[in-house]
């Protein structure tokens, strides 16, 4: 597929996807979802990709779904547009490798939901977050009503969802919506360094941490613990053997791809 909206670069095990519709503040349209679906499938097959970064071009991460595309939709078409976005963001959430959102500017509506589907969020001090759908007589369509309460608690989520208020990076950090805030000129370097740290760890262990944590979060505690034990044991005689030997021999581990 020819990519018109998404730009991709891969270096040192890190793939960076840049949403590039700066003239529309990177608003998410049907083409975006098609491209992201295909790109995730491509990158998921690449052994040289260990961590994924998503960011936006210009002054927005993504300023919501494309209202110009939505305005004429019927109820059934609106439902289908929602399902397409939910499918893409679920694929991102289930992507086998860690995904970091580098939020450089506006992350509103669907743009906020894109960030919510990532594993870690790092924000520029100029970043702005919000779910302004109620201002348009809408509700979120890409699972913000489900992910936001799980990330920041019910009260904080309902506050943002019901008021449509836009908050800055520091408030997002306080709520737990983002994990780190840095100056704009340091954003990509900070996120890249974070990605390098993660990429340096045991490859299978990193993937299983994401899988077990995400799956376990939606299970009851005992079922989650059982899953953890199963995956913990699966690494013995495998990647963990090298990691533990390297520790005892006081040398860096030599991970296999």
Q: Are residues 31 and 134 in the same domain?
A: yes
- Residue 159 in any domain: the answer is yes
- Residue 257 in any domain: the answer is no
Both tokens of 118, joined, read: 């990532």
The answer to whether residue 257 scores a pLDDT higher than 70 is no
CATH code of the domain containing 84? 3.90.226.10
Q: Are residues 93 and 46 in the same domain?
A: yes
Q: Are residues 161 and 221 in the same domain?
A: no
Q: Are residues 183 and 216 in the same domain?
A: no
- Residue 166 in any domain: the answer is yes
- Residue 176 in any domain: the answer is yes
Q: Are residues 19 and 130 in the same domain?
A: yes
Final residue of a structural domain among 199, 217, 238: 199
Strand ranges, E, within 37-134: 51-56, 60-62, 99-103, 106-108, 120-124, 128-130
Q: Are residues 170 and 222 in the same domain?
A: no
Residue 102 belongs to domain spanning: 6-199
- Residue 253 in any domain: the answer is no
Q: Is 249 a catalytic residue?
A: no
Q: What is the CA radius of gyration of the chain?
A: 19
Q: Are residues 84 and 180 in the same domain?
A: yes
CATH code of the domain containing 235? 1.10.12
Q: Are residues 21 and 100 in the same domain?
A: yes
The answer to whether residue 237 scores a pLDDT higher than 90 is no
**Number of domains making up the chain:** 2
Termini Cα distance of the chain: 27
The pLDDT tens digits for 14-39 are: 999 999 999 999 999 999 999 999 99
The pLDDT tens digits for 174-198 are: 999 999 999 999 999 999 999 999 9
Backbone angles phi, psi at 184, to 5 degrees: -55, -40
Taking the whole predicted model, whether its pTM rises above 0.75 is answered as: yes
- Catalytic choice (113, 170, 183, 230): 113
- Residue 134 in any domain: the answer is yes
- Residue 52 in any domain: the answer is yes
- Residue 106 in any domain: the answer is yes
Q: In what order do the strands lie in the sheet with 99-103?
A: 6-11, 14-19, 51-56, 99-103, 120-124, 180-182
Q: Are residues 59 and 185 in the same domain?
A: yes
Q: What is the pLDDT of residue 2?
A: 87
Q: What is the pLDDT of residue 238?
A: 85
Please state whether beta strands 128-130 and 167-168 pair in parallel, antiparallel, or not at all (unpaired). antiparallel
Q: Which residue has the tokens 């302004």?
A: 132
Closest CA to 115 of 182, 55, 43, 196: 55
The pLDDT tens digits for 120-138 are: 999 999 999 999 999 999 9
Q: Are residues 81 and 104 in the same domain?
A: yes
Q: Tell me how crowded residue 162 is: count the other CB atoms within 10 A of its CB.
A: 10
Q: Are residues 74 and 176 in the same domain?
A: yes
The pLDDT tens digits for 148-171 are: 999 999 999 999 999 999 999 999
Q: Is 113 a catalytic residue?
A: yes
- Catalytic choice (133, 230, 239, 257): 133
Q: Are residues 176 and 215 in the same domain?
A: no
Q: What is the pLDDT of residue 1?
A: 75
The answer to whether residue 114 scores a pLDDT higher than 90 is yes
């Amino acid at each position: 597929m020819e990519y018109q909206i998404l730009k991709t670069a891969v270096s040192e095990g890190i793939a960076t996807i840049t949403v590039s519709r700066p003239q529309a503040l990177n608003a998410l349209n049907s083409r975006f979802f098609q491209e992201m679906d295909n790109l995730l499938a491509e990158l998921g097959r690449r052994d040289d990709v260990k961590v994924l970064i998503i960011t936006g071009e210009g002054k927005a991460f993504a300023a919501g779904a494309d209202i110009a595309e939505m305005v004429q939709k019927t109820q059934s078409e609106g439902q289908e547009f929602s399902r397409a976005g939910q499918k893409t963001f679920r694929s991102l959430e289930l992507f086998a490798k860690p995904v970091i959102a580098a939020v450089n500017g506006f992350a509103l509506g669907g743009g906020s939901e894109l960030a919510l589907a990532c594993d870690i969020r790092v924000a520029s001090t100029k970043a702005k977050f919000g779910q302004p759908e109620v201002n348009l007589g809408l509700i979120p369509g890409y699972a913000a009503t489900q992910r936001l309460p799980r990330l920041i608690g019910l009260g904080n989520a309902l506050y943002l969802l019901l008021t449509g208020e836009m908050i800055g990076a520091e408030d997002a950090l306080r709520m737990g919506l983002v994990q780190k805030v840095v100056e704009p000129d340091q954003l990509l370097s900070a996120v890249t360094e974070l990605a390098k740290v993660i990429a340096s760890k045991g490859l299978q262990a990193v993937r299983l941490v994401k899988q077990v944590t995400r799956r376990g979060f939606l299970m009851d505690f005992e079922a989650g613990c059982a899953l953890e034990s199963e995956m913990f044991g699966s690494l013995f005689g495998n990647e963990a053997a090298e990691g533990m030997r390297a520790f005892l021999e006081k040398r860096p581990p030599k991970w296999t791809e």
